[in-house]
Amino acid sequence: MSDHIRPEGVSDALVEATGTLSEAYEYLIRARGHVYSAHQLIGRVDILAGEAADQLEAAGAVEQAERLRREVVGRNVLTGRWTFQMVEEFDATYYRVFEDAERRVRDELLGGKRHVYESEMKDDRRTDGEQGHERRPGDAPGA
């Protein structure tokens, strides 16, 4: 399987540079997950604050319930934005731009191959012939 094999003529420096860019992209994917987590968590906060306002009102604390609804429930998280807008803006202005740039570099320099740097690191670190150190899935006993 040649999906992770360095294309002919590609230097060590280019493999390392594209590996660094790939690592940056992986961190971006993780960061995006945190943005979506914040979106969901803050949405839940708003729902619970609304429920608390209803409970306060039912318990006779009408003034506090009204103030909570006025000041907190439905409030923007960023100026003019709820978290769904934050997520959409993040995706449009940063995530997709970075994703496209990373893919373009990989396509232009590595023929679109992913994880070439990691594949070569694996080759350097594994013990040839040792079970559990197979180069590729098809190399494993019984594969």
Contact 93, 6 (CB under 8 A): no
Rounded CA separation 112/13 (Å): 17
Rounded CA separation 89/77 (Å): 13
Write the pLDDT tens digit of every residue in 56-92: 999 999 999 999 999 999 999 999 999 999 999 999 9
Rounded CA separation 76/63 (Å): 22
Prediction pTM value: 0.85
Contact 38, 83 (CB under 8 A): yes
Write the pLDDT tens digit of every residue in 8-48: 999 999 999 999 999 999 999 999 999 999 999 999 999 99
